[in-house]
Structure 1
Amino acid sequence: MNLQAMFLDFNPGKFLVWVCVSVFTALLALRLDNIINWSYWAVFAPLWLWKAFVVVGAFVANIVWIKNPHYRLEGQSSIQYRALLISLGIHLFLLLFELLLADKLNTGRHSWLSVFTPLIVVSLLSIAACIWGVKHNRSIELELYCSVNLLQFIFIALRLDHYIGWPWEVVLVPAWVVVCASVVAVLYSIVFAGLLLRLPDVNPDRRRTSLNSAIAYTCLVAPLLCFLITLASRLNRNSNNNYTSIVMPLYITYCTRIAMAFSSKRANQWWFGLRKDLCQFLLGVCPLLQEYANISYTLPTRSDTDTHHNLNQDDMEEGQGSTDTTVVAVAVAVGAEKPPGAKKKKKSNTRRSKDKEVVPHVSLEVPD
C-alpha cells in the first residue's frame, strides 16, 4: 500500500460531506422511529458541522484573497476563486433550507412550500452553475444534483401541504427518472467491463479501471433504488418497516462515496486560503508525516514466498555440502572409509563451484 499514491487525489471536502450525511441519516432515522428523543436541532448537528467548515473556509479564503493581490496571477486562481463563491452561495441556500426544516419539525409553524423555497431557488441557480462548471472544467456534483431534482422538490412540497393528493409513487416520478437513467448507465458500464475482460489485447490497467467503475456505479445506484422503493411503500402506509431499516441500503452508497473521495478530482485550493491541496499542506507542516507517507508497503504473494523458500533451501544445501566435504576430508586423512553419498555431493559442489565466477585476489601487471 503506497500512502503517497493513496492521498494523491484525495478530496477532503467530499470525504467530510459524506461522513456528515451518513451520521445525519442515522440520527434522523432513529429520531423518526422514536428510539431517541433528541431535538431536531441536535439531529441536524452533522449538517451544521459541514456548513461550518464551508463558511469558515470561504471566510478565510476571502481574507487571503483581499490581502494578497499577487496571488490572483497564479495559474487558474481567479477561476477557482469564482468556483469557491458559487459553492459558498449554494451551501448558504442549503443552510437556510436546513434551518427552516429543523424549525418546521420542532414547531410546525411554517408551510412546507416555504421550507422548500430555498431548495427551489438554488436548483434554478444550479442550472447556470452547471453550465459555468462544464465550461471551465470544474466539479459540478452538488450543482447537478440540485438542478435535476427541481421538480422533485416542488412535488414533495405540494404533497406535504396537501395541495395534491397523489400517491408517493407518482410524487417520486422525477426521482424514478433520474434513477432509471443511472441504471442504464450502470448496465452499460457492466457490459463494457465484461467485454474488456474477454478481450486479450486490452491493457490490464484499463481493464481494472473499468471493472472498478462498474462495481462502484452498481454500489451507488442499486441501494438508492431499493431505498426509494421501500420509502414510497412506507409513506403510502403499505408496509410497517421502520425508518432505520429503510435507510440501511443507503450506507452502501455512503461507503462507496467515501471510498471514491480518495480518487476524485482535487478540491478547491482556495479553501482556508491554502492555495494547495490539503494533503500537501499537511505534509509540508508535519515533516514526520511526510516521511511516513513516503513509505510504501507490499503484501507478500505466493510466488515471493516460494522464491524465498527455495533460496533458503539452496543455502541449507550449500551449508550441508560443505559439512559433508569436511567429513570426507577428515575420513581420508585418517584412512577411514568415505560415507555413502559423499562422492555425489562432492561432484555437485564441484559443478556449482565451476559455475561461480572466480575473481583473483591480486592482479599482477606484466610489462610488455
Structure 2
Amino acid sequence: MMLNTIKEKGFFTMLLLLIIACSSSGEDEKEEEQQPDIIHPTITCTESITVFIDAGKNGASVAYSTPIGTDDLPGAVTTQTSGLASESLFPIGTTTNTFIVEDKAGNTATCSFDVIVLEPSNDKPYAVKEGAEAPVGKKWVKVDTMSDEFEGNTFDDTKWHRYPSSDGFSWIGRPPALFEADNVTVANGNLNITVEKFDAPKRVNGIDWTHGGAIVRSKITAKPGYYYECRMQANKTIMSSTFWIAFKQNCNTGPVRKLELDIQECVGRLTNTAAWADNFDQIYASNTWRHERECDTEVTGSKQSPAKTVLSEKNNSRYFVYGCWWKSPTEILFYLDGKLSHSITNPPADFDLEGHITMAIETYDWNPIDANTIFGTGSFDDLTTKYDWVRTWKLENE
C-alpha cells in the first residue's frame, strides 16, 4: 500500500509541475503577444524633379523611383495618397507626390516630393529658374540682333555670316571637309547644316577636299555678361555639331591673345577608341582656350580649362538646350535643358574680349572617317545638325 501511495504522490507532483510549467509558458507568451508595436516604419522619397518643356505642350511624361517603405516586422504596405504615378503625364505647374507606409499595428510614415513642369517662354532665358535668375534690380532682355527663331525659309544674312570668305576669319574648314554655304538652309523651323561627301574631290588652296560641312557666325559680337543658348540636335555622322564663341586675333593690330569659348562640341558617331574621346557622341563638352601664337609671349603652348557632363542619351537622339552664362571674365556657367550642368572658373586667360557666336560642322583628325560612313546612305535628318533657335540675352536695369 505504501508503495502505491508513494507512486501516486510522485505522479501528482509531476502533473502539478507540468500544469504550472504550461501555465507559466502560456502567460509568458500572452505577455509577449500583448506588448504593443510602437516602432514606426520608414520611407524616403526622391528629391524634387524639375522638367522644362517646349512651349505649346500640355505637360511631360516623368519617370521617377517609386518609394517603398520598410519596417522591422513584415506586412507593411506603401500607398500613394496624392500626385501621379511614375511615367504619368504631369501637367504644367507643381504636382506634389505623397506616399504613406503603414504597418500591421497602424504605425505610419510619409514622404513627399514635387514634380515641377515648367514651360519656357522666349522672353527670358531657358534656365532662368535654375540659377540664371537676374540679379536684384536687373532683368534679362533679348538681344534681337543675335537671336533667331529660324522661322520661314529664308536665311537671315543681316544677322549671320555663312560664307567663310566674308566673316573675317578666313577659315574654310579642316580637311577633308570644306565649309560650303550651300549646305546651310532654313526650313521646318530650323537652321539646318547638312554634311555631304563630294562626288569628286574639290581642289581648294592646294588641298583635295572630299567632304562638305559649313560654318555660321554672328555678325554682332558676343560680350561678357551675356547669356547664350541654342536648341540643337546633332547629326549622326563622324562630323561635329557645335555651338561656341570664336575670337579674332592679330599680331599686328591685336588682340594678341587668341581665345576660344566652346559652349558645346560633340560628334554624331565615334571612331576614336582612345579613353579621352569616350562619350564624345553623348556629351555636353565645354572648354576655354588660350591658343599659342608667336606674338603672345605670355604663354608657351596652348592652354585650356575644360568642363563636361556625360549624358545618358546620344547627342543625335533628340534636341537638347545648351546654355552659357558668360558671367564674368573668370566665371562661365553652362546649362543643359534648363539646369546648371557644369562651370569653368579661372580659365587660362581673362575672357574679357568680344567674339562671335559660331556654329561649325566639321571633320576632326582625331575622329576620322571610317568604312561605316553613312554619307551615301543617310537621310536628311541623319546628315543634318538642326538648330531650332539661337537666343542671346543681356542684363538691364528693371
TM-score by shorter chain over 0.5: no
Q: Which protein is richer in strand relative to its size?
A: 2
* TM-score after normalising by structure 1: 0.21
* TM-score after normalising by structure 2: 0.20
Q: Which protein is richer in helix relative to its size?
A: 1
